[in-house]
Structure 1
Amino acid sequence: MPKIGMVIDDDFFFVEFLSEALEKKGYQVIKGYDGKDAIEKLKDGPVDVLFLDLIMPKIDGPSVIRFVREKFPDNSFPIVAVSSTFIEREEEFAEIGADFYFAKGPLEQMSEQFDRLLEKLEGGKRTDGTTSNFFAAGTFYPREATFELVGTVNFQKAIVDHIGVGILVVDRDAKVINCNPMVVELTGRPIQDILNIPITHLFPSREKAEIIAKLKAVAKNQEPKKVSLAMIIGFRKVGLVFSILKLNDQIAGWIIAMEDLNQWEEQT
């Protein structure tokens, strides 16, 4: 049987480049164009190698990597992180958690580097969290504007990750596309059981109708701009606040804030 490679990137032409290169090496290729695609397609099982863009809308690359590591703990297939910002993110390699790092560049210059990468990949060697498994065509230099952008993104992510409430981002199809560590704590579920599932599946089934009603209410009226709901999850009383998510004045989904109400009762 041919090996299976998965290529996930929101750049159509880059997906085609990598897919054709893998097919020439005898791989069967599964294509996807964002993190939601990756998670949905990985429901069918692991692959032999995953090429994954780090910066994508909705579910980003690092979130998919965490999903993969938790979902397939006994089948740790190699993950190749793909990006044009590696020079500015070199210190983050260990945190990103990929096995190989492939820098984007002009398509005509990447074929040789791809061959080198595949040779090392098929040799079974993994990264040690350093730049030893970094592949790039030509010489790359840090860009000040990209440094600033990466720094801003990391700062905003740190705020969301360390805030004392759970933050859920729900897509227009009512599936979860992002959550912070507090959501994992409040729901008692690992990340692979949260991302890309219908939001109603995350909470007790008895609350399904009420959750749907709240989502509809805030999407239809948008006034008030938020609605609230309290429920019991396990042994916790949890408060939920539903808000609409807008991008460019268009409804893009919902944001749900979660808070442990027991802590306030204990303090009073």
Structure 2
Amino acid sequence: MKTILVVDDEWAIAEVLEALLGDEGYRVIVANNGKQGLERLGEWRPDLIMLDFMMPIMDGPATFALLKANPATSSIPVILMSSLPEETVAERCAGYSAFLRKPFRIAAVLDAIDKALG
């Protein structure tokens, strides 16, 4: 069973992703911000991280930079999520596996995960 870490401060989005991905057969771990997401990595080694761009405490770009700088986590694919245009996100993050513009469609989520997990 593949594990996906969902890092999003919007409770409703995290809950929907947790239910959707659980129904698709994934183990889902949820974190409310980047700091909590990094802490969860000590408990679980996810196969994929879905990371919100704008969050309190530690935002997506700061979290993404720490993930990529750490040899233990640098190879984990990351899907960035934001209501901002991808061009804005790409200015602060390079090397992500996929981008999902909020609000997103379920089919787009599943497609991005399939591509990221290869």
Q: Under TM normalisation by the shorter chain, which class is it?
A: 0.7 to 0.9
Q: Measured at CA, do residues 72 and 27 of structure 1 come closer, stay the same or move farther in structure 2, by a change above 3 Å?
A: farther
Q: TM-score, normalised by structure 1?
A: 0.41
Q: How far is the alpha carbon of 1:64 from its aligned partner?
A: 0.6
Q: 1:114 aligned to 2:109?
A: yes
1:168-179 aligned within 5 A: none
Q: Segments of 4+ in structure 1 off by > 6 A? A: none
CA separation of 1:118 and 1:60: change in aligned 2, threshold 3 A? same
Question: What does 1:1-268 align with in structure 2 at a 5 Å threshold?
Answer: 2-44=1-43, 46-72=45-71, 76-85=75-84, 87=85, 89-90=86-87, 92-93=89-90, 95-97=92-94, 98-105=96-103, 110-123=105-118
Separation in 2, partners of 1:50, 1:6:
5
Superposed displacement of residue 79, structure 1: 0.3
Unaligned runs of 5+ in 2: none
Q: What secondary structure does 1:59 align onto?
A: coil
Give me the whole-angstrom Cα distance separating, in 1, the residues matched to 2:36 and 2:48: 16
| Secondary structure of residue in 2 paired with 1:18 | helix
How far apart are the structure 1 equivalents of 2:8 and 2:57?
12
Unmatched 5+ stretches in structure 1: 124-268
Between the aligned partners of 1:45 and 1:115, the Cα distance in structure 2 is 22
**Counterpart secondary structure, 2:105:** helix
Matched residue type, 1:117: A
- Give the letter for the 1:114 counterpart: V
TM-score in terms of structure 2 length:
0.87
* Deviation, structure 1 residue 30: 0.6
- Of Structure 1 and Structure 2, which has the larger fraction of its residues in strand? 1
How far off its partner does 1:113 sit? 1.1
Same amino acid, percent of matched pairs: 26
Higher mean alpha-carbon deviation, 65-74 vs 48-57, is at: 65-74
2:48 touches 2:117 (CA, 8 Å); kept in 1? Answer: no
Instruction: Determine the C-alpha separation between the residues in 1 that align with 2:73 and 2:8.
Output: 26
